[in-house]
Structure 1
Amino acid sequence: MSKNIVYDALFPIYQELSDLVGEENMLKIYGYWRGSQFSLPMRLYTPKKLRPILKASRASNKDLARLYGYSERWVRDNRR
């Protein structure tokens, strides 16, 4: 830890960020988004941009569902 940062005095979320991405990156995140509230989508990929990738793939629906975090049914319906 840097001598400028008192880890034990940080809010828990900043302690977790520091543990996860390192102190330097935690400070970048703090500087960029401090005071903001945001939520992250459950899925990493947006459906609209994923559909053409699914249609072009030769992999099975099951494999694509696991890879992209969607259900097999959703993958099947969006490959048509």
Structure 2
Amino acid sequence: MNKQKIERAAKVTDKLWANFQKAQECLRTFNVNGFGVLADRALLRNDMLAAKKALEAALQELDSFLLWPSDEDYGD
């Protein structure tokens, strides 16, 4: 088992998960008025930009980490 490789990948996974959750949290609310029209464009835009920032951070982390464990690294 390659414990060091697995631990490094687990740390990256934690960062990915945190940014993923941040993006989900940012997109939780979508306010529509009684006429079926977006109620607060500025709020939605800010929430979408925050989600985009979190996803971009996650993608950067995902793309920059290249030492993902293989099946052999998990071993016995």
TM over 0.5: no
Please tell me whether Structure 1 or Structure 2 has the larger radius of gyration of its CA atoms.
1
Higher relative contact order (CA 8 A, sep 6+): 2
- Of Structure 1 and Structure 2, the greater helix share is in 2
User: When the two structures are superposed, what TM-score results if normalisation uses the length of structure 1?
Assistant: 0.23
